[in-house]
Amino acid sequence: MSPSTIKITTLSVVLFLGATGAFAFMWVQTQQQGDKLVTQLDTLSEQRAQEEAYFRLRRVAEESAAERAELGNYFFSGESESIDFLNMVEQMAPRSGVELETTSLNLVEDAEDGKEWVEIGFLFEGSRSRVQNFLHILEELPYVSKITMVDLVAADQTQWQARITMRVRVMSYDE
């Protein structure tokens, strides 16, 4: 072989090896960048999903504000609201024809569900039908409540006496 052929062959081999090396380098970089892009796309889609969930929850919260406010009226938001409740019950008693006495007011935790309740004791007296009617009124009050004890006795032939203990649920946002 002639010296110029050797030079051209050597130059061709060197250029071929350089091109192959450059191609291999570019291929490795493309793979790494592709993997990085896939990771970033996954992160982006996860972030978009979280944003969509946030906006959806925000919309639900805005749309349900009135319903949540109405539901909140069925609970005591704190122990202090029991005073308004007692005033309401004490105003209803004379209109229902019974004499009412509040015998106890306590904040208790239910052993079954571990929730807080305001426990209120009432003693009221009147004719049998009025006592039963007032008891029915207490059962139907628009609160999350339960009557835990009822003791209904005849005081004499015309007067009846009822001693009840009822619980009204205290709403807690930690649940």
Could you read off the pLDDT of 36-90 as tens digits, one per residue?
999 999 999 999 999 999 999 889 888 888 887 776 666 666 666 777 788 888 8
| Judgement on whether residues 41 and 108 belong to the same structural domain of the protein | no
| Judgement on whether residues 36 and 90 belong to the same structural domain of the protein | no
| Judgement on whether residues 84 and 150 belong to the same structural domain of the protein | yes
Could you read off the pLDDT of 86-118 as tens digits, one per residue?
888 888 899 999 999 999 888 888 777 788 888
Count: domains in the chain: 2
| Judgement on whether residues 102 and 128 belong to the same structural domain of the protein | yes
Could you read off the pLDDT of 12-28 as tens digits, one per residue?
989 999 999 999 999 99
| Judgement on whether residues 43 and 89 belong to the same structural domain of the protein | no
| Judgement on whether residues 81 and 163 belong to the same structural domain of the protein | yes
DSSP, res 79:
G
Q: What is the reported pLDDT for 80?
A: 66
Q: What is the reported pLDDT for 70?
A: 73
| Judgement on whether residues 89 and 43 belong to the same structural domain of the protein | no
Instruction: Decide: 119 and 164 in contact? Cβ < 8 Å.
Output: no
Q: Does some domain include residue 159?
A: yes
- Residue written as token pair 């704190």: 78
| Judgement on whether residues 99 and 151 belong to the same structural domain of the protein | yes
Q: Kindly indicate the confidence band of residue 175, based on its pLDDT and cuts at 50, 70 and 90.
A: very low
CATH code assigned at 145? 3.30.70.60
Could you read off the pLDDT of 55-64 as tens digits, one per residue?
998 898 888 8
| Judgement on whether residues 111 and 131 belong to the same structural domain of the protein | yes
In terms of residue numbers, what domain contains 127?
Answer: 75-169
3-class SS of residue 105: strand
For residues 119 and 116, what is the distance between their CA atoms, to the nearest angstrom? Answer: 9
Q: Minimal CA–CA distance to 75: which of 65, 85, 66?
A: 85
For residues 119 and 135, what is the distance between their CA atoms, to the nearest angstrom? Answer: 16
To which H or E segment does residue 157 belong? none
Q: What is the reported pLDDT for 4?
A: 87
| Judgement on whether residues 160 and 79 belong to the same structural domain of the protein | yes
Q: Does some domain include residue 68?
A: no
Q: What is the reported pLDDT for 79?
A: 62
Query: Strand pairing of 160-169 and 145-154?
Result: antiparallel
Task: Mention every residue, 6+ apart, whose C-beta is less than 8 A from residue 72.
Answer: 171
| Judgement on whether residues 54 and 98 belong to the same structural domain of the protein | no
Q: What is the reported pLDDT for 45?
A: 93
**Quick one: tokens of 159?**
């007067």
Q: Does some domain include residue 37?
A: yes
Task: Mention every residue, 6+ apart, whose C-beta is less than 8 A from residue 160.
Answer: 125, 126, 127, 128, 131, 132, 152, 153, 154
Instruction: Decide: 104 and 121 in contact? Cβ < 8 Å.
Output: yes
